C-alpha cells in the first residue's frame, strides 16, 4: 500500500546513472520509491533484487503510479518518454541533454508550464559545492575557461563530446555570465568514435566577456576545472576534487614594490554529494511548488549553444 503523505517517485532507466538516482531517492524520508523502469530485463532484475523495489519493463505501466520521476534513458528517447509523463501531470528530473532538438525542448517546456509541473534538468555540476561557491564569488566576469577531460569509456557515446561533457560547463558559464551569446567559434575532431571526441569552443557575449571551453573523452587523465577572471580576482574551481582557489588583490595593503598585495585562499568540500543535492533539490521544488535550481529553460539554453558548437564543428572537418 502506498503512503499518500509521501511523494511517489520512479526512476526511468536504471543504467549507470539511474542506479545512483535510485539510491538517492531511497535516502530521502519524504519520498516513496514506487518503482523503476528499464527495457533491459537483466538489468531491471538486478536493480529490483538489489534495492528491493518493484520493476516495470515499460514506462507506460507506471504513469499513474507516480508524482515525479527521474528520466535517465538514452537521449534519443527523451522527448517521447518525457512527453508521456508531462501529459499525465508528472514532475520530472530529466538527465542532460534535455533533448537533441530545440523544438522538442520547447514542447516539453510548454507542456510543463501548461500543467504546472517542475521540469529540472540533470546538469549536476551546478550542485558541485566548488561551483556553488564560485557562483557566489563571481560578480563581474571578464573571461572564463574550462577544461573537462575524461578517459575513454563506452558510456555516453550515444552523443558527441559536446552534449556528453562540455554541456556541463556551458550551463555553468551561461549561468554566471548572464549575457546573451554574440558569437561562437568551435573546432573538433573524431578520434575513436564516429562522433566528435575532442572539442574546443570560444564564446563571445554581448557584454564583451568571453569564454573558452575544451572537452575531451579520449584524454590520458581526468581533469574537470573551470576558471573565472574578474577585475579584482581569479577563481578556480576543481570540480573533480571539489576544491576552490581564490586569488585576489588587497588594494588596502601594498607590497614593498608598491603594488597591491595578492592573497590566496583555498577551500575543499570533501564530504559533499552533488547528485544527492540535485535529487533533494528536485524533491523540494516539487513539494514546495518552487522553481528548480536548474530549470528546463537552463537546459534549453545550454542545448542551444551546444548545437551551435556542433554545427560549427560539422561545417569543418572532424577528421584531420
> What does the pLDDT read at residue 3?
47
Q: Is 196 exposed, middle or buried (0-12, 13-18, 19+ CB in 10 A)?
A: buried
Q: Which residue has the cell 572532424?
A: 318
pTM: 0.93
- What residues does each domain of the chain span? 7-123+275-292, 126-272+304-315
pLDDT for res 156: 66
47 close to 19: Cβ distance less than 8 angstroms: yes
CATH class of 7-123+275-292: alpha beta
CATH of region 126-272+304-315: 3.30.360.10
Low-confidence ranges of the chain (pLDDT < 70): 1-4, 156, 251, 253, 256, 317-320
Amino acid at each position: 500500500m502506498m503512503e499518500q503523505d509521501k511523494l511517489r517517485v520512479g526512476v526511468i532507466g536504471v543504467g549507470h546513472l539511474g542506479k545512483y538516482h535510485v539510491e538517492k531517492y531511497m535516502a530521502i524520508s519524504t519520498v516513496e520509491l514506487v518503482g523503476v523502469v528499464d527495457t533491459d530485463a537483466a538489468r531491471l532484475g538486478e536493480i529490483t533484487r538489489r534495492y528491493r523495489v518493484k520493476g516495470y519493463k515499460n514506462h507506460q505501466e507506471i504513469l499513474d503510479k507516480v508524482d515525479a520521476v527521474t528520466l535517465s534513458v538514452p537521449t534519443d528517447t527523451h522527448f517521447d518518454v518525457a512527453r508521456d509523463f508531462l501529459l499525465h501531470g508528472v514532475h520530472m528530473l530529466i538527465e542532460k541533454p534535455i533533448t537533441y532538438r530545440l523544438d522538442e525542448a520547447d514542447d516539453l517546456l510548454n507542456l510543463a508550464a501548461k500543467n504546472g509541473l517542475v521540469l529540472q534538468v540533470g546538469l549536476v555540476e551546478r550542485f558541485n559545492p566548488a561551483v556553488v561557491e564560485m557562483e557566489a564569488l563571481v560578480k563581474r566576469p571578464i573571461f572564463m575557461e574550462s577544461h573537462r577531460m575524461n578517459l575513454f569509456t563506452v558510456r555516453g557515446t550515444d552523443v558527441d563530446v559536446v552534449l556528453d561533457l562540455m554541456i556541463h560547463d556551458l550551463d555553468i558559464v551561461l549561468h554566471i555570465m548572464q549575457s546573451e551569446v554574440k558569437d561562437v567559434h568551435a573546432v573538433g575532431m573524431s578520434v575513436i568514435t564516429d562522433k566528435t571526441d575532442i572539442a574546443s569552443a570560444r564564446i563571445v557575449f554581448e557584454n564583451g566577456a568571453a569564454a573558452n571551453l575544451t572537452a575531451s573523452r579520449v584524454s590520458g587523465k581526468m581533469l574537470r576545472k573551470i576558471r573565472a577572471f574578474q577585475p579584482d580576482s581569479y577563481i578556480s574551481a576543481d570540480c573533480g576534487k571539489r576544491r576552490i582557489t581564490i586569488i585576489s588583490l588587497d588594494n588596502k595593503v601594498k607590497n614593498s614594490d608598491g603594488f597591491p598585495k595578492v592573497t590566496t585562499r583555498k577551500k575543499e568540500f570533501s564530504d559533499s554529494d552533488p547528485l544527492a543535492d540535485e535529487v533533494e533539490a528536485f524533491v523540494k521544488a516539487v513539494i514546495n511548488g518552487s522553481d528548480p535550481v536548474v530549470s528546463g529553460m537552463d537546459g534549453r539554453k545550454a542545448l542551444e549553444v551546444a548545437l551551435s558548437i556542433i554545427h560549427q564543428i560539422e561545417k569543418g572537418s572532424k577528421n584531420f
